[in-house]
């Protein structure tokens, strides 16, 4: 059986699944149950704030959701307006100390958010070190609501200079490993990631939640969740944010200024496959919140067995075998092969004659699917641009596939002969590009 063992910042974990800083890690009771359920790697404790009166959460609904399908599964995502922990600092610190003592082999990482001044950071780091939580600290520069209005969370994460400054304070006042958790509420993730690296961060984790309004109550004319007739933007997470998170992870992993910094991938991880995808793009491990909140702690057991079976099938003996394997395949559009030609093909045996592919292609794509009177659907190769829309709307998986034309075959749509592999062109060599250089070789990897 494959070894799921993973190492992150020198922290050895029996598997790469960590719980993200959020309600599942808000108290000792939860964290103990999480460890017992198999969250082998570690937990990032719910974000702690300064000593003194804790923050106050709303006492009405704090979540909004986008469901998918009739069974109300959380296919879209979850939105929340919760703040950092609303339990006193000393209570959290006592609990962390007890948990760490009872689980010395597990990583307890403490998430932190205090005002953007050196003294409060110095003070809280001293307190955290006393707990024995040697996993490290995660700096919450990502929470987009409530705390951001107070100059913390994403208000810091959106200003690379602040990220660097606070990270430097943390490294100056503590020897604990320091993970900087990044906000996706920014136009280019590379600036904050570079700032974290420049400040001395040992790793970055991403993403925190995305600014969002999930629904509007049309009777009350107010966004939901609604508190006494009013709503506010919240942080979106869950399956819907995974594509956004994976792109940001890949950007950091492949950019020469940020490549090499360890990444903890977060955002919509619900199955073993989600985790494998994040890791293939360069994340050394993953953190999970919404899936645990939706299905309970035991969801990790399916993640563990699924990842293990997949690794066995692929012949990977350790997670390090495939971490970052897909990173070199992420490139910029201009480096894609424009001579790669495919055509849609419908397997008539599998087709249930629903007509979705026809409607999609006829109305919104390239009128490349023919429908006979007895509802036989066939692709017209001389019209098909290979956009893949029919594949995506077909309800029968595998019924429509894309066939690649071999070198020497003629593309019936353009009349062009598919060139030999060595003669393929990207936009950088293409004759339609006024700035093309026909002598330029294909550059891979976006460098």
Ligand X SMILES: Cc1cc2nc3c(=O)[nH]c(=O)nc-3n(C[C@H](O)[C@H](O)[C@H](O)COP(=O)(O)O)c2cc1C
Q: Which is nearer to ligand SF4, 335 or 356 (CB)?
A: 356
399 binds, among ligand X, ligand SF4, none (CB under 5 to 8 A by kind): ligand SF4
Residue from 354, 417, 428, 436 binding ligand SF4 (CB under 6 A): 354
How far are the Cα atoms of 184, 187, 249, 386 from residue 157, in angstroms, in the given order? 9, 12, 16, 40
Which of ligand X, ligand SF4, none does residue 282 bind to, with CB < 5 to 8 Å depending on kind? none
CB 71 within 8 A of CB 100: no
Q: Please, what is the minimum distance in Å from the beta carbon of residue 60 to ligand X? A: 14
Residues 373-412 contacting ligand SF4, CB under 6 A = 377, 379, 384-390, 394, 396, 399-400
Long-range contacts of 351-355 (CB under 8 A, 24+ apart): 351/377, 351/396, 351/399, 352/395, 352/396, 352/399, 353/377, 354/394, 354/395
- CA within 13 Å, CB half, 423: 6
Identify which of 175, 62, 170 has the alpha carbon closest to the alpha carbon of residue 114. Answer: 170
Q: Closest distance between ligand SF4 and the C-beta of residue 360, in Å?
A: 6
Nearest distance in Å: CB 55, ligand X = 10
Please name the residue that has the structure tokens 């893949």.
Answer: 388
Could you tell me the maximum CA-CA distance found in the chain, to the nearest angstrom? 77
Minimum gap (Å) between residue 273 Cβ and ligand SF4:
24
Nearest one of 304, 265, 305 to 285, comparing CA atoms: 265
Beta carbons of 167 and 182 less than 8 angstroms apart: no
394 binds, among ligand SF4, ligand X, none (CB under 5 to 8 A by kind): ligand SF4
Question: Interhelix angle for 28-37 vs 89-102, to 10°?
Answer: 30
35 or 377: CB nearest ligand SF4: 377
333-352 binders of ligand SF4 (CB under 6 A):
344, 346, 351-352
Nearer to ligand SF4, 179 or 390 (CB): 390
CB-nearer residue toward ligand SF4: 55 or 360: 360
Nearest CA to 220 out of 235, 230, 212 is that of 230
From 314, 329, 353, 403, residue interacting with ligand SF4 (rule: CB under 6 A)? 353
Among 88, 120, 132, 355, binds ligand SF4 (CB under 6 A): 355
Active site residue 354: no
Angle between helices 299-314 and 272-280 (to 10 degrees): 60
Based on the shown chain and the rule CB under 6 A, indicate whether residue 359 belongs to the binding site for ligand SF4.
no
Contact 181, 289 (CB under 8 A): no
User: Of 116, 143, 289, 361, which residue is the catalytic one?
Assistant: 143
Q: Report, in Å, the least distance between residue 248 CB and ligand X.
A: 12
How many residues touch ligand SF4 under the rule CB under 6 A: the total is 28
248: nearest Cα among 318, 188, 177 = 188
State which residue, 139 or 346, has the beta carbon closest to ligand X: 139
Q: Are 378 and 347 in contact (CB under 8 A)?
A: no
**Binding residues vs ligand X (CB under 6 A):** 20-23, 46-47, 78, 80, 82, 84, 111, 140, 142-143, 181, 208-209, 237-238, 241, 266-269, 288-291
Catalytic residues: 143
Note the residues at the interface with ligand SF4 (CB under 6 A).
Answer: 344, 346, 351-357, 360-361, 365-366, 368-369, 377, 379, 384-390, 394, 396, 399-400
């Amino acid at each position: 059986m494959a070894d799921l063992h993973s190492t992150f910042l020198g922290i050895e974990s029996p598997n790469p699944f960590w719980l993200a800083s959020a309600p599942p890690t808000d108290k000792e009771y939860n964290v103990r149950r999480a460890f017992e359920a198999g969250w082998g790697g570690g937990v990032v404790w719910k974000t702690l704030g300064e000593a003194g009166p804790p923050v106050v959460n709303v006492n009405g609904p704090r979540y909004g959701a986008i469901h998918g399908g009739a069974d109300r599964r959380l296919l879209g995502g979850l939105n929340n307006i919760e703040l950092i922990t609303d339990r006193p600092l000393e209570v959290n610190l006592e609990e962390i100390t007890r948990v760490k003592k009872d689980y010395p082999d597990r990583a307890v990482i403490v998430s932190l958010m205090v005002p953007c001044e050196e003294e409060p950071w110095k003070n809280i780091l001293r307190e955290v070190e006393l707990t024995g939580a040697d996993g490290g600290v995660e700096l919450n520069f990502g929470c987009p609501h409530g705390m951001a209005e107070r100059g913390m969370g994403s208000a810091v994460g959106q200003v690379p200079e602040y990220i660097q400054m606070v990270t430097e304070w943390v490294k100056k006042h503590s020897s604990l490993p320091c993970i900087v958790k990044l906000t996706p509420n920014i136009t280019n993730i590379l600036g904050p990631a570079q700032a974290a690296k420049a400040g001395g961060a040992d790793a970055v984790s991403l993403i925190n939640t995305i600014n969002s309004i999930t629904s509007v109550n049309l009777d009350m004319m107010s966004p939901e969740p609604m508190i006494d007739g009013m709503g506010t933007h919240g942080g979106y997470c869950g399956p819907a944010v995974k594509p956004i998170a994976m792109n940001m992870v890949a950007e950091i992993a492949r950019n020469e200024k940020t490549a090499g910094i360890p990444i903890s991938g977060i955002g919509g991880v619900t199955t073993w496959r989600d985790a494998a995808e994040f890791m293939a793009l360069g994340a050394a491990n993953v953190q999970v919140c919404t899936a645990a909140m939706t299905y309970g702690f035991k969801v990790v057991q399916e993640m563990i067995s699924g990842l293990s079976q997949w690794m066995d099938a692929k012949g990977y003996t350790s997670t390090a075998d495939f971490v970052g394997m897909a990173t070199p395949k992420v490139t910029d559009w201009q480096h894609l092969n424009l001579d790669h030609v495919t055509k849609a093909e419908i397997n008539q045996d599998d087709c249930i004659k629903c007509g979705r592919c026809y409607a999609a292609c006829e109305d919104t794509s390239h009128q490349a699917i023919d429908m006979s009177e007895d509802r036989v659907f066939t692709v017209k190769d001389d019209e098909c641009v290979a956009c893949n829309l029919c594949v995506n709307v077909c309800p029968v998986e595998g019924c429509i596939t894309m066939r690649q034309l071999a070198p020497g075959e003629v593309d019936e749509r353009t009349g062009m002969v598919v060139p030999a592999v060595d003669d393929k062109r990207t936009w950088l060599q293409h004759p339609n590009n006024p700035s093309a250089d026909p002598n330029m070789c294909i550059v891979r990897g976006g460098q």
